A and B are shown apart, each in its own frame.
Chain A
Amino acid sequence: MDHAYDITLTVNGTTVSRRVPARQHLVDFLREDLELTGSHAGCEHGVCGACTVRVNGEIVRGCLMLAVQANGCRVETIEGLSDSKELSKLQTAFHEHNALQCGFCTPGMLMAAQDLVLKNKKISREEIRTQLSGNFCRCTGYQAIVDAIEEVINGKG
Chain B
Amino acid sequence: MKAAEFAYAKPASLLVAFELLANSNAKVLAGGQSLIPSLNMRLSSPELLVDITGIPGLAGISSQGPCIRIGALTTHAQIEKSELVKKHVPLLAQAVPHIAHAAIRNRGTIGGSLALADPAAEFPACAVALESVFILKSKTSERRVKAQQFFKGLFETGLKPGELLVAAEFPVATTSDRCVFLELTRRHGDYAIIGLAAHNSRFVFLGAGATPILIPGISIQGPLAKAKAVLSKTLKPSPDLYNTSATKLHLAGVLLERAWTTLTT
Which of A9-17, A44-52, A87-95, A149-157 interfaces with chain B? A44-52
Which of chain A's residues 62-88 have a Cβ closer than 8 Å to chain B? 63-66, 68-69
Chain B nearest CB: distance from A92 CB in Å?
24
Q: How many residues of A contact B (CB 8 A)?
A: 31
- B contact residues around A44 at 8 Å (CB): 1-2, 37, 40-41
Q: Report if A33 contacts B (CB, 8 A).
A: no
Q: Given A3-B8, A69-B51, is A25 in contact with B104 using a C-beta cutoff of 8 Å?
A: no
User: Known contacts A3-B6, A46-B100, A58-B77; is A133 also within 8 Å of B188 by CB?
Assistant: yes
Q: Does B246 contact A (CB under 8 A)?
A: no
A37 to chain B, nearest CB (A): 17
Does A52 lie within 8 Å of B40, measured CB to CB?
no
Asked whether any CB of chain B lies closer than 8 Å to the CB of A130, the reply is yes
Least CB separation from B107: chain A residue: A60
Chain A residues with CB under 8 Å of B3's CB are: 23, 25
Contact: B6 with A45, CB < 8 Å?
no
User: Can you list, as one digit per residue, whether each of A35-47 has a CB less than 8 Å from chain B (1) or not (0)?
Assistant: 0000000001110
Interface residue B154 (Cβ < 8 Å from any Cβ of A): no
A3: B residues at CB distance < 8 A: 5-8
- Binary contact readout B1-36 vs A (1 if CB under 8 angstroms, 0 otherwise): 111111110000000000000000000010011001
B37 partner residues in chain A, CB cutoff 8 A: 44-46, 64
Q: Name B43-78 residues within 8 Å CB distance of A.
A: 49, 51, 53, 77
Q: Which residue of A lies closest to B51 (CB)?
A: A69
- At the interface, yes or no: B106 with Cβ under 8 Å from chain A? yes
For residue A134, which residues in chain B have a CB less than 8 angstroms away from its CB?
100-104, 189
Q: How far is the CA of A2 from the CA of B1 in the complex (A)?
A: 17
B39 within 8 A of A: yes
Q: B32 contacts A69, CB within 8 Å?
A: yes
Given known A-B contacts A64-B33, A66-B32, A5 and B102 have beta carbons under 8 A apart = no
In the bound complex, what is the Cα–Cα distance between A130 and B187 (angstroms)? 9
Q: Is the CB of A64 within 8 A of B104?
A: yes
Query: A117: shortest Cβ distance to chain B, in Å?
Result: 13
Chain A residues in 8 Å Cβ range of B41: 44-45
A22 close to B6 (CB less than 8 A):
yes
A25 CB contacts on chain B under 8 angstroms:
3, 36, 40
Q: How long is the Cα–Cα vector from A65 to B37 in the complex, in angstroms?
A: 10
When the two chains form their complex, are residues B103 and A112 in contact, meaning their CB atoms are under 8 A apart?
A: yes
For A72, give the chain B residue with the smallest CB separation.
B54
A23 to B29, CA, bound (A): 13
Whether A23 contacts B187 in the complex (CB less than 8 A), given A64-B33, A115-B102, comes out as no
Given A64-B36, A130-B188, does the pair A49, B101 have CB atoms closer than 8 Å? Answer: yes
Q: Can you report 28 residue pairs joining A to B where beta carbons are below 8 Å apart?
A: A3-B5, A5-B8, A22-B5, A22-B8, A23-B2, A23-B5, A23-B6, A28-B2, A45-B41, A46-B33, A46-B36, A46-B37, A58-B77, A59-B103, A60-B103, A61-B103, A61-B104, A61-B107, A64-B33, A65-B32, A65-B36, A66-B32, A66-B49, A68-B8, A130-B97, A133-B188, A134-B102, A135-B101
- B interface with A by C-beta (< 8 Å): 1-8, 29, 32-33, 36-37, 39-41, 49, 51, 53, 77, 97, 100-104, 106-107, 187-189
- Which chain A residues have a beta carbon within 8 Å of chain B's beta carbons? 2-3, 5, 21-23, 25, 28, 44-46, 49, 52, 58-61, 63-66, 68-69, 112, 115, 129-131, 133-135
A-B contact sample (8 more), CB < 8 A, given A25-B36, A66-B49: A28-B2, A44-B41, A45-B37, A46-B37, A46-B104, A64-B107, A69-B29, A134-B102
